[in-house]
Structure 1
Amino acid sequence: MGVIAVLGVGPGLGMSIARRFGREGFTVALVSRQAARQAAYQESLRADGIESRAFQADVRDPVGLRKVLAAITDDLGPIDTVYFGPVAMEPGAGPMPITEVDAAAAREPFETLVLPAIELVSAVLPDMLDRGTGAILIPGGLSGKYPIPMLGRLAPASAALRMYVLTLHEALKDRGIYAATLTIGGLIQGGDIHAAVTRHFAQSEAEPPASLDPAEIAETAWSMYVGRELPESEFSTLPIPA
């Protein structure tokens, strides 16, 4: 089928995307900041008969991002599909009520999420356009679509990322390139944040919040890739504001 580059891969959705596309014959390039878990990721995929290669890079670094994309292409061939998993934020850089957000607080999500996504697209798009084929899948947060005041710190960047991908979809849909976003509201099973929250609730003996199945999200992502029409799918365990 080709090569899918899963950037910012983690044990939750990133690995589910890798596994779902790998089952269809894609060779998987796993990209993460640290190499500690890459061997386990590759062994898990190998057990399912999926070929993968592991690469180490911080996708927030434009130079490093372009170097790793070039290395993937040199090693595996042209990249058909890229999946950009949002990079984990630094400690203390998570949600913040919108009433407490200043410019400095809002800046970090742009630098962590939006700008690396744009840099990624600018790096892979010329080759995709030359070949007349390719796909770009970028997940984003529900606060970019609905007003959720407690997630307000993330809202400006989430909204910008969502509109960037939707606009890409419109610009590229008649040129053989598919761009789409997965709008996610809630914890994803298997991910690091889900594990931390689960431990917290286990210690307090309270019921943890509902979570999303990454395999189901990955299945939808595959259906979107095949159909190449929907610019967005939404997954949420959060109440949607009226």
Structure 2
Amino acid sequence: MPNPLSALKKKTASSDPEAFRDKVVWITGASSGIGEALAVALAGRGARVVLSARRQEELQRVAARCKQEGANDRDILVLPLDVTDTDFLPEATSAVLEHFHHIDLLINNAGLSQRSLCKDTDISVYRKLLDVDVLGQIALTKAVLPYMLDRGTGHIAVTASVAGKIGAPLRTGYCAAKHAVMGFFDALRAEVEDDGVKVSTIVPGFIRTSIARNALIADGATFDDEDANIEGGMDVDECAQVILAGLAKGSREIPVGKGREMAALWVKRLSPELVFRLTKQLG
């Protein structure tokens, strides 16, 4: 059976440092975590980056980091937005096109996680998870896609999750959302790939970010605590390098992580029952 961790090392080693030079890359969820790490790494590779998230002050901080990596003011566009404000997304897309004239790569990276049992979780929490993690990604993709199809070229990526392949306790809403994301973008790829538009699903495992602290609990408040699996996960900058290597190659699916959860992606293909038993232990 192929070793997923070896595959990740090969992807990192094969990354083309010039692959993103002068490319216009729009990143949502760019104010922290994987989105921030991708933005900084892309700036260092000569990309022209659009930074989007809800927190403008944090976006300005990330923009400053991008400039430290060599980006000029004209290479960075700070565009605050909430992906659940779907009425604004066409306007936001027009603003990006007015500034940079085209979009080469859209990275749908905004997202929320969850830490609560189904029996305790208010239905409003499920709605919020689906609005942010699924419908927001779909709405922005639909706003950008026509321009890529008109040009006959473009690349759309989404940050899914191992939770989009495997169900885990305390994450029923998050897993539902990430499974939906995987299904939507796999289906979209089948529709548009022959028209020149690539679609990549990014499948992170445990990455050292604030995703657990920001996760929703049963009443919609934030978890605001550490998660041992997240704290022991892959460094976020290493994660960004693996993702960029996959995107540069046009990989349809990009697994990224270093723990047992990555092996579970392979094990589930051979023995779903074994994975079902193991995931119970996570609770």
Match of 2:105 among 81, 88, 95: 81
SS of 2:194's equivalent in the other structure is coil
Give % identity.
Answer: 22
* Higher share in strand: 1
Q: Is the 8 A contact 2:49 2:77 kept in 1?
A: yes
Instruction: Give the Cα–Cα distance (whole angstroms) in 1 for the partners of residues 188 and 169 of structure 2.
Output: 27
Equivalent position of 1:231 in the other structure:
253
Equivalent position of 2:39 in the other structure:
18
Q: Measure how far apart 1:152 and its partner are.
A: 1.7
Which ranges in structure 2 are unaligned for 5 or more consecutive residues?
1-21, 216-221, 265-274, 279-283
Q: Is the 8 A contact 1:2 1:80 kept in 2?
A: yes
Matched to 1:235, the amino acid is: G
Deviations 1:124-151 (A, max 9, x none): 1111011111111111232220121232
Q: Measure how far apart 1:104 and its partner are.
A: 4.8
Instruction: Give the Cα–Cα distance (whole angstroms) in 2 for the partners of residues 26 and 156 of structure 1.
Output: 33
Which ranges in structure 1 are unaligned for 5 or more consecutive residues?
none
Instruction: Give the Cα–Cα distance (whole angstroms) in 1 for the partners of residues 37 and 148 of structure 2.
Output: 24
Instruction: Give the Cα–Cα distance (whole angstroms) in 2 for the partners of residues 58 and 238 of structure 1.
Output: 33
Deviations 1:95-129 (A, max 9, x none): 32345557554332111111111111111111101
Number of corresponding residues: 232
Q: Is the 8 A contact 2:213 2:225 kept in 1?
A: no
Is it true that 1:135 corresponds to 2:159 in the alignment? no
Equivalent position of 1:179 in the other structure:
199
Question: TM-score, normalised on structure 1?
Answer: 0.83
Q: Measure how far apart 1:216 and its partner are.
A: 2.1
SS of 2:88's equivalent in the other structure is helix
Equivalent position of 2:52 in the other structure:
31
Instruction: Give the Cα–Cα distance (whole angstroms) in 2 for the partners of residues 112 and 195 of structure 1.
Output: 13
SS of 1:63's equivalent in the other structure is coil
Please give the residue correspondences for 1:109-128 in structure 2 after superposition, counting only pairs within 5 Å. Answer: 109-128=129-148
Is it true that 1:43 corresponds to 2:67 in the alignment? no
Equivalent position of 2:233 in the other structure:
211
Instruction: Give the Cα–Cα distance (whole angstroms) in 2 for the partners of residues 58 and 195 of structure 1.
Output: 16
SS of 1:28's equivalent in the other structure is strand
Instruction: Give the Cα–Cα distance (whole angstroms) in 2 for the partners of residues 46 and 111 of structure 1.
Output: 32
Q: Is the 8 A contact 1:113 1:157 kept in 2?
A: yes
Q: Measure how far apart 1:238 and its partner are.
A: 5.6
Is it true that 1:68 corresponds to 2:92 in the alignment? yes
Q: Is the 8 A contact 2:83 2:136 kept in 1?
A: yes
